[in-house]
Amino acid sequence: MSLVDAVTEAFAELAGRPPEGVWRAPGRVNLIGEHTDYNDGFVLPVAINRSVVVAAARRDDGVLRCWSSRDRSEPVSHPVAEVGPGTSSGWSAYVEGTAWALRELGVPVPGADVVVHADLPAGAGLSSSAALEAAVALALSDLAGSTVDRVALALAGQRAETEVVGMPCGIMDQMAVLLGRAGHAVFLDTRTRMTELVPFDPAAAGLTLLVIDTRVKHALVGSPYAERRRACERAAAALGVPALRDATIDDLEAGRASGALDEVTFRRARHVVTENDRVLEAVDLLRRGALTSIGPALAGSHRSLRDDYEVSCPELDVAVDAAVTGGAVGARMTGGGFGGSALALTPVDAVDRVTETVTKAFAEAGFGPPAVFAVSIAGGAERVSG
């Protein structure tokens, strides 16, 4: 059964009436540009063909009720005027937080029944949170008859996540899932929010984009993510720049020599500064259609995240090394890290070998089996029925 049929059926069963519409938002794989988005830097994500779908219909009593198709027990139910920071928790905080952030924008969010369903694994580093926020943001603004632009919807999702869920994320994921386009990567300057859709068609280059889900669950709320972010802010302040986007390697070296940056802060900052360069390099290669040449940039990104930023984990390192041994032209961890997924850009005829090599390496290391699957580059969030 399709995702849309499944969520429509679940809605009828749980809410006892048909939905007014169904909205879909994709997950994302970030090709390169990790932990740069809260430093005013560059990122290059793609939206993928794994999604969160939301079926919804208005209620006239101002109550927001939400169900997950996985857990068909009682809905989480609160007056929409009362949801927001400090009042929402658990998975429904993403839904209620988004409703709150839209209201803060002046969108007259109505009461609604909302049912959530997905084929995008949660906690796998593929932005299931941003996908849920984006699908809900589109659904509720449509039901409110409002036409908020996509950048504003992305910012509302980020605000929900930061202020209601408690994860101080950047803007990459929300922008990727709202602005992605099939066959393209989203080159985003997180300072200006300028985006450029850069052609990214692995199949045309004889490649497949593989995701290796380590199945190590990362919980970025309350994780070292916030600590990394603070280290970057400390480094920028010590160097007297608005954000690490504005620093050069020479600035960092000078800061280390003068004692303004301690060794760890220096390495955190070096990751960000070198990663921004690698994004620009990858964008340049993609613009020239040289997809198969981005391997070294991907490898450099992974090394930097592992050694300087220290957000990888043994499972991600094994996944990346084994993918390259199996024949991938490039591989690296993708997303926040501390578990989650790696990407492996793989020649079509090496897909089986990469999958086997990774699976075997996990078994030999004593890790649980990973999930290895191909993804295609999909479009951004949209209304899919109703």
Residue 348: CB atoms within 10 Å: 13
Could you tell me which stretch among 4-12, 46-54, 166-174, 244-252 binds ligand GLA (CB under 6 A)?
166-174
Q: Quickly count: other Cβ atoms within 10 Å of residue 1's Cβ.
A: 8
- Within 31-143, strands assigned E span 42-43, 45-59, 63-68, 71-79, 111-118
Which of 21, 180, 335, 370: binder of ligand GLA (CB under 6 A)?
A: 335
Binding ligand GLA by CB under 6 A: which of 8, 23, 29, 35? 35
DSSP strands (E only) in the chain: 21-30, 42-43, 45-59, 63-68, 71-79, 111-118, 184-189, 194-199, 207-213, 330-334, 341-347, 371-375, 382-385
Nearer to ligand GLA by Cβ, of 130 and 144: the residue is: 130
Options 153, 172, 320, 354; binder of ligand GLA; rule CB under 6 A: 172
Task: Tell me whether residue 144 or residue 153 sits nearer to ligand GLA (CB atom).
Answer: 153
CB of 114 to ligand GLA, least distance (A): 22
Based on the shown chain and the rule CB under 6 A, indicate whether residue 173 belongs to the binding site for ligand GLA: yes
Q: Cβ of residue 258: shortest distance to ligand GLA, in angstroms?
A: 29
In this structure, the number of other CB atoms found within 10 A of the CB of residue 229 comes to 17
The CA distances from residue 373 to 2, 42, 135, 249, 333, in Å, are 19, 27, 23, 37, 15
Part of the chain binding ligand GLA (CB under 6 A), chosen from 59-67, 137-145, 164-172, 252-260? 164-172
Whether the CB-CB separation of 214 and 319 falls below 8 Å is answered with yes
Tell me if 241 sits within 8 A of 247, measured CB to CB: yes
**What is the rounded distance in angstroms from the CA atom of residue 4 to the CA atom of residue 24?**
8
Interaction of residue 213 with ligand GLA, rule CB under 6 A: no
Question: Is residue 340 a contact residue for ligand GLA (CB under 6 A)?
Answer: no
Shortest Å, Cβ 147 to ligand GLA: 26
Cβ distance to ligand GLA smaller for residue 95 or 112: 95
Are the C-beta atoms of 111 and 15 separated by less than 8 Å?
A: no
Q: Does 37 sit near ligand GLA (CB under 6 A)?
A: yes
Residue type, 307: D
Whole-number Cα distances in Å, 21 to 53, 54, 132, 140: 10, 8, 15, 10
Smallest distance from ligand GLA to CB 180, Å = 15
Least gap, CB of 44 to ligand GLA (angstroms): 11
- Out of 41, 75, 84, 336, which residue is the one contacting ligand GLA (CB under 6 A)? 336
**Residue 313 found at the interface with ligand GLA (CB under 6 A):** no
Question: Could you say whether residue 180 binds ligand GLA (CB under 6 A)?
Answer: no
Minimum CB distance to ligand GLA smaller for 37 or for 213: 37
Q: Tell me if 225 sits within 8 A of 37, measured CB to CB.
A: no
* Tokens (6 digits) for 249: 């390697």
User: Which member of 170, 180, 255, 326 binds ligand GLA (CB under 6 A)?
Assistant: 170
Between 113 and 173, name the residue whose CB sits nearer to ligand GLA: 173
Question: How many chain residues bind ligand GLA (CB under 6 A)?
Answer: 10
How far is 139 from 381, CA to CA, in rounded Å? 10
Kindly list the distances between the CA atom of residue 364 and the CA atoms of 150, 151, 322, 358, in Å, as whole numbers in the listed order.
45, 45, 11, 10
Active site residues: 173
Tell me: does residue 34 bind ligand GLA (CB under 6 A).
yes
Using CB under 6 A, list all residues that contact ligand GLA. Answer: 34-35, 37-38, 169-170, 172-173, 335-336
